[in-house]
Amino acid sequence: MLRHKPLDEKAKRRLIREQEKDKHLLFYSYLTQRKQTAVFIGQYVEDQLTAVLAYTEELPFPAFSFRCMNVKLVDLPALIEFTRSYLHFSEETTCGTILSKEDCLLFQSYGLIKNEPKAFLQMKHFDDEKLVCSNRVHSVKEVDYHLFTTFMQGNGMKFFTRKELDSYPFLAIKDKDSFACAGGFHFYDEQLVEIGNIVTQPDYRGQGFASILTSELTLLGKKKAKEVYLGVFAENDGAIRLYERLGYEKTASLWIVDFALTDVSVTLAGKPF
């Protein structure tokens, strides 16, 4: 028998214990950092949890995280349909998520993906000795919040939110009154530290600012938790080499996608890989 229901607190606590952060960091963040605002829809087959689709309204777009426990039993169209109805979304709603290769293929097999999947790497820090230090980095002060927000949004930081700036430390390198390089955290506490939104103005690239800033953010993150993560587009070879020089290693290869909450039937959609 197939059924769907929002997960209760007991089920969510069990899922937290079962998650491997190195493989399922996004889903783990929904269970921990975003637990107060996230909705978790579980699909059960004969009382066995086969998949979970989680939604948060914290980001500027409809953001989801998907976790499949049994790909042989999951009925993805039924889970999508129930979730859309439960959240009162229209079929035209375009949503965003990050998927493993296997989950991306599952979504595409039903014609749900609306864009070309974008390869994305999750990385974790392992070697403190490779970090570099500098006295050029300063904390972003509240008086600069408006200017800083404009700087981040103007440089295409889609996942940056004002809530992060209000809640977590952000660091910057400035040239007089202008930001040259800046970055902060998506999450910053004992359960999870994830660096995010690192950006350097084009005119200041090639001066080592990103290395300095990433090092300082990593050291700051390790005051909260032993494990520090970040993400980077797989096509950004320069950034990947920089992070590797600083002691980061790849832990997961993922895909950023836009997907639809439409009623679907099995299709012969081509695979993006």
Position 173 scores a pLDDT of: 94
Position 12 scores a pLDDT of: 96
Q: Who's near 219: CB < 8 A, 6+ residues apart? A: 128, 131
Query: What are the backbone angles phi and psi of residue 15, rounded to the nearest 5°?
Result: -65, -35
> Which residue numbers in the chain have pLDDT < 70?
158-159, 263-273
Query: In whole angstroms, what is the distance from residue 228 CA to residue 217 CA?
Result: 9
pLDDT tens for 114-167 read: 989 999 999 999 999 999 988 999 999 887 888 888 888 777 776 677 778 888
Query: What are the backbone angles phi and psi of residue 141, rounded to the nearest 5°?
Result: -90, 155
Query: In whole angstroms, what is the distance from residue 188 CA to residue 184 CA?
Result: 9
Position 269 scores a pLDDT of: 44
CATH topology of domain 2-118+255-260: Aminopeptidase (3.40.630)
Domain boundaries, the chain: 2-118+255-260, 127-246
pTM of the model: 0.88
Q: 2-118+255-260 and 127-246 share one CATH topology?
A: yes
- CATH top class, domain 127-246: alpha beta
Position 177 scores a pLDDT of: 82
